[in-house]
Amino acid sequence: MPAASNACLISTYTQTSCFEDDKAPSDYISSDEEQLESGCTGRKFHYENKAERTFNAEMTAFEDFAGKNSIGAAFTRENFNEVAAQDLMVAKSEKTSDFASYESLPEAAKHEKFFRAAFEVLLKEGVFSATSRKNKVNEWVNPEELEKVLELDVNPGPSSHGKLLDLMKTVIKYSVKTGHPYFVNQLFSSVDPYGLVGQWLADTLNPSVYTYEVSPVFSLMEEHVLAQMRSIVGFPEDAGDGIFCPGGSMANGYAISCARHYAFPQIKTQGLASCPRLVLYTSEDAHYSIKKLAAFEGLGSDNVYLIKTDARGRILPEDLRAQIERTLSEGAVPFMVSATSGTTVLGAFDPLPAIADLCTEYKMWLHVDAAWGGGALVSRKHRHLLNGIERADSVTWNPHIRYASENGIDTMTFYNEMELQKVKQFHPNAQLVIRIRCDAEVAQCQLGMKFGCDAITEAPRLLR
């Protein structure tokens, strides 16, 4: 065998940190504790810390091994470290076939039964039971009690499959069932069966959608989905780009970054110091993420000018123009308008054509936050609410938020009298009003049980 074959013996245990920092290779010869398989011959050697062995004795043992295995390597005290270093650079050992025999996870014999049992729990309790009107949206307990139930301390040892299955059931029991028909806290509802299966498929494959080489299927899929979304918005065919984000807030942050770099490309290399004071504009009812992300990206929340709205919560173009002129008089640079299509306050849609005209006149980036109202783009009846969105430079759209009117959502929520007055004013024909009873008046986060009341018989009494 060639002399290079001894690389397996030296490089393997060096690279796997078998040596302590203050020990030399001579301290790890001839023992009955650690096993290391030679990549040259398949023989097994044992190593332990034995500092009293001399270098000459060590070399005698190693040269005996080398002679028996036709390595023919001659080591001296002077060249031992040099030879070892050269051996570490050998790219490939002769015994690579052993890798195919290594056991990898999962193993069908050990895990298939567990997988099937876990899937049964997910399907029965996490999907069908969790979306049944016969069951609660949430099994509420106080945080201190829930911590005890979940046993959140790190276990000193492994858990059995049965224990893990019980834990799954506990997690489902005490979690909020966001797919439940009576869950109205957030902007989504119900479980899409095909989307859920798609999520299971994606989690099973665990794709890293960086490049086509690493994730060919999902890379192409992502490109086509984003292209279709751009087409729905009305962007020119084969133009533009897109990216999936953790949420609408981050999407708005990306838009601010794009607008800033578009106005001042040198900021990428020279930083904010190379730019004048930048000002962006958004509705006084806009999502809070605009101010937060402006602060996060170094613009400063004071440089987010809030534009007045009309009685329905829509930006007043005349006030937008006034604020732009104010900015110019201050010596600052107006660089971006973030319009909102579907505010979280009143569900208002800003007048995009008028705003786009001002952006063109003052050479500003137009972003449309359509996270809430973007679903109207696929509605024949309500698409007109977003007329002019095709003139935007960027758009935030949360496809999981469905357009409420098209899905029969006719319930409202309130947490105080002011909110109930809004319901009465803007939704006089609501079929159901949801009242929230707080469990702790002094709690910073008011969590409580929800129950319904009839809008005709009960709501007037509540107002009194």
Tell me the pLDDT tens digit for each residue of 369-426: 999 899 899 989 999 999 999 999 999 998 766 533 333 333 334 445 555 565 566 6
pLDDT digits (tens, 9 = 90+) for 183-241: 887 766 688 899 899 999 999 999 998 899 999 999 999 999 999 999 999 998 878 88
Q: Give the integer Cα–Cα distance in Å for 226 and 242.
A: 6
Render pLDDT for 243-271 as a digit per residue (tens, 0 to 9).
Answer: 888 889 999 999 999 999 999 999 999 99
DSSP string, 329-359: HTT-EEEEEEEEBS-TTT--B--HHHHHHHH
Q: Pairing between strand 333-340 and 278-283?
A: parallel
Model pLDDT, residue 192: 87
**For the ranges 77-86, 97-106, 313-322, 374-383, which has the lowest average pLDDT?**
77-86
**Does 36 have pLDDT greater than 50?**
no
Q: Report the pLDDT value the prediction gives residue 409, as an integer from 0 to 100.
A: 31
Please work out, in degrees rounded to the nearest 5, the angle formed at the alpha carbon of residue 215 by the alpha carbons of 116 and 228: 100
Q: Which CA distances in Å does 138 have to 48, 172, 383?
A: 57, 9, 36
Q: For position 247, what pLDDT does the model report?
A: 86
Q: Is the peptide bond prior to 106 cis by the omega test (within 30 degrees of 0)?
A: yes
CA 355/CA 254 separation, integer angstroms: 20
210 or 134, which is more confident: 134
Secondary structure of residue 186 in the 3-state scheme: coil
Of the spans 89-93, 181-185, 460-464, which averages the highest pLDDT?
181-185
Structural domains of the chain ordered from first start: 3-98 (no CATH), 109-204 (3.90.1150.170), 245-401 (3.40.640.10), 410-463 (no CATH)
Give the pLDDT score at 295. 95
Residue 439 pLDDT greater than 60, yes or no: no
**CA atoms of 459 and 227, how far apart (whole Å):** 46
Average confidence score pLDDT of the chain: 76
> Ranked by mean pLDDT, which of 115-119, 342-346, 396-400 comes out on top?
115-119
Q: Is the pLDDT of residue 155 over 70?
A: yes
- Mean pLDDT for the stretch of residues 268-287: 95
26 sits in which H/E element: none
Model pLDDT, residue 141: 92
Whole-number percent of the chain with pLDDT over 70: 64
CA distance 430 to 413: 11
